[in-house]
Amino acid sequence: EDQVTQSPEALRLQEGESSSLNCSYTVSGLRGLFWYRQDPGKGPEFLFTLYSAGEEKEKERLKATLTKKESFLHITAPKPEDSATYLCAVQAARGSTLGRLYFGRGTQLTVWP
Amino acid sequence: DVKVTQSSRYLVKRTGEKVFLECVQDMDHENMFWYRQDPGLGLRLIYFSYDVKMKEKGDIPEGYSVSREKKERFSLILESASTNQTSMYLCASNGLLGGNEQFFGPGTRLTVL
């Protein structure tokens, strides 16, 4: 069974304190790994897609990396506005359910001034 | 920009009522999805559709049905609402020509009394 596990469940950082969020996965062939940001009471907002081990993507203070078994979302010098829940999802290569994603439960990030 | 809209942000219904949640996307996407999101449980897939009039069950379809009469519109139906269906409902879509990332609507917070 495909599984996505995110850690930690919650993370509190002081403004400027860099850290990383982890997403480990077990799928039968990876078509893509996706990172989303979700603010309270809103729908998830797409951040990145990674397709193969070794790939990296960056956006402002966020950098996502991918290995064969996990992905990291590195946050450099975070600001309070980076506070949100970050979701990881994977798409498996097998089967006919194209487009279906399997989501982790998320990491709730709080950045305090 | 991809836009996914949902018919209501907040909805309050009584036990036993029939409830319709509607979702519209404007990017000509083939695939559409309905999730519910509950604290501690993450996003759970209820139903999805990969074409007009086509539907597939997700992980928690019990108590729900769906309708897709037009490509841009995907409706979630609660035939007889129950209190355990109180949740945040999120609609998403993606297309065959894109990068497989799903784009989400703003969500509908449904309360069943």
**B29-38 pLDDT tens trace:** 999 999 999 9
Count the residues in chain A: 113
Give the residue on B whose Cα is nearest the Cα of A49: B101
pLDDT at B112: 98
Among the partner-chain residues B48, B101, B105, the one whose CB lies closest to the CB of A43 is B105
A42/chain B closest Cα distance in angstroms: 5
Strands annotated E in chain A: 3-7, 10-14, 19-26, 30-38, 45-50, 56-59, 62-66, 70-75, 84-92, 102-103, 107-112
Phi, psi of A82 (to 5 degrees): -85, -5
| Three-class DSSP category at A105 | coil
Are the beta carbons of B94 and A99 separated by less than 8 Å? yes
Q: Is B51 on the interface with A (CB under 8 A)?
A: no
Question: What is the C-alpha R_g of chain A?
Answer: 14
Phi, psi of B84 (to 5 degrees): -75, 5
pLDDT at B96: 73
Retrieve residue B100's tokens. 């497989």
Is a pLDDT exceeding 80 seen at residue A2? no
Is a pLDDT exceeding 80 seen at residue A97? no
DSSP state of B83: G
Task: Summarize the confidence of residues B56-81 as an average pLDDT.
Answer: 96
Q: Using CA atoms, how far apart are residues A14 and A46, in angstroms rounded to an integer? A: 25
Distance of CA B88 to the CA centre of its chain: 10
